[in-house]
Structure 1
Amino acid sequence: MNIIAWVVLGLLAGAIAKAIVPGDQGGSWISTLVLGVVGAFVGGSLHTFIQTGTLQLAAPGLSIPGVFIAVLGAIIAIYLYGLVAQRNI
């Protein structure tokens, strides 16, 4: 997948995931892009693991199922980041 498709998939998946997850994730469009790309890798890797039983670094293509997988991965990434970066005020 070329770089423009990665940018589009990352922005789309990150924006949808930030809209779904309650709370304030903050950040700019660049953090949304990074979240979406990380989510695409997380979701694609989990999808490959469920289908084949092998753990591989994979990412979905720019399609409706690919965006769905990337959004699920981005939601998982938001949740994991929230666990790691938990602040006690």
Structure 2
Amino acid sequence: MGILGWIVLGLIAGAIAKAVMPGKDPGGIVITMLLGIVGAILGGFIGRALFGSDIGSFFDLSTWLLAILGSIVVLAVYHLVTSRGHRAHG
């Protein structure tokens, strides 16, 4: 899958991750989209490291699950980092 495929997959996976994650999102839509792209790439690396499988095509279910899982992880870390920053200053 090319870079454009990863970007589109990441945008959609980021939106799904945001819908699944509870609580208020401290970032806007642009931050969520960027985190989704990073999460999709992270999910691809996790899948390759844990399962030894190469990421499939755009329409492969395992590709989507890994991208969404990676996006949830990145979004959760973002929530932790930004919530600690708000508590320290407020």
TM range (shorter): 0.7 to 0.9
C-alpha contact (below 8 Å) 2:6/2:40 kept by paired residues? no
What is the identity, as a one-letter code, of the residue corresponding to 1:27? Answer: G
C-alpha contact (below 8 Å) 1:17/1:71 kept by paired residues? yes
Instruction: Name whichever structure is richer in helix by fraction.
Output: 2
Change (3 A) 1:10 1:49: same
Alignment partner, residue 76 of structure 2 = 79
| Structure showing greater Rg | 2
Structure 2 unpaired stretches of 5+: none
Alignment partner, residue 55 of structure 1 = none
Structure 1 unpaired stretches of 5+: 53-57
What is the identity, as a one-letter code, of the residue corresponding to 1:20? Answer: V
Q: CA RMSD in A?
A: 2.1
Normalising by structure 1, what TM-score?
0.75
The residue matched to 1:22 in structure 2 has which SS?
coil
Change (3 A) 1:82 1:62: same
Alignment partner, residue 64 of structure 2 = 67
